Structure formats: C-alpha cells, structure tokens
Amino acid sequence: MSIGQKIQADIVSAMKARDEHRLTTLRMVKSALKSKEIDKREALNDAEEAQVLTTLIKQRRESVESFLKGGRPELAEKEQAEIGMIEGYLPQAASEDELRAVVQAAVAQVAEATGARPGPRDMGTVMKAAQQRIAAGGLRADGRLVSELVKAALAQ
C-alpha cells in the first residue's frame, strides 16, 4: 500500500472518528501529494511521495522555530503534532551511528575513486555519495545532520 493510499484510508477513519485536527492535517498532506502529481503529470512513486512528506516536515520545523521565537508556544505545539502525524507515514529515521557508518563508507568510496583522501573541498562529492547510499538503503535522514557528519569526517 502506497503512502497516498494509507493517507486516504486514514482520512476516512479520521472522518468517522470526528478527529478534526488529524483530518485537516491529512487533507493538507493529500493536497500536497496531489499538487506534486499534477505538476509531474503522472502518478508519484514511493520515493517521490516520501520526498513531499519530508518537505512538509521541514516546513513545519521551520514554523515551530518561528512560533517559539515569536512567543506563540500553542501554535508551535500544533505544528509539532502535525510533524508527528506526517512522520508516521515515512520510514524510520536512521540513527546517528548508522549515518556515521554511511558517511565513512561514502568517504572511502570517494577516496577509492580519486586515489587520494578527500578533503573539505570534496564536500559536495562526498555528500552526493552519502545521499545515494542513504536512498539505496531505504533510510531517511536529516540533510543537516548528514552535512555535519560529512564535514567532521572530512576535517579529520
């Protein structure tokens, strides 16, 4: 069952349960998926659906920061609840140890390809290799954390 199908089924159950907050959140997610599908002019695959959800989570996290800075903790709490709901449709996020291992493998891959130990100027190449390994492993990772781990690995 794809992410879109799960969301549709959960919309129906939220309607039956009269859970307004969950219903509005799921409708917003479904709308974002449909919008991306219309832009692409064909059905989305699982990876593209996951990418849309990741973007929505990133937007919510930025909103939480803004609301907390603006002294609106009740709105930040609402956004946090939405993040939790949306994350439920994505694969489990990779731990920092798993990401560290992926980054080390990516550094080794780039070192093997170039014949020399990569340095800070090779950040883009290593990031690309790390992101490919993360996607191939079916993992989900925060790009900011991956970037920090790559910088630390290249600085050694």
66-80 tens-digit pLDDT: 999 999 999 999 999
CATH architecture of 3-87: Orthogonal Bundle (1.10)
Name the one residue in this structure whose structure tokens are 């790390």. 130
Quote the tokens at residue 84. Answer: 């939790």
pTM of the model: 0.71
pLDDT in tens, 95-149: 888 888 888 998 888 888 888 888 888 888 989 988 888 877 777 787 888 898 8
d(CA 83, CA 68): 15
What rounded mean pLDDT belongs to the chain? 89
Query: Could you tell me which residue, 135 or 65, shows the higher pLDDT?
Result: 65
pLDDT in tens, 8-53: 999 999 999 999 999 999 999 999 999 999 999 998 888 788 889 9
Domain range list for the chain? 3-87, 96-155
31 to 11, 51, 53, 63: CA distances (angstroms) = 12, 14, 11, 19
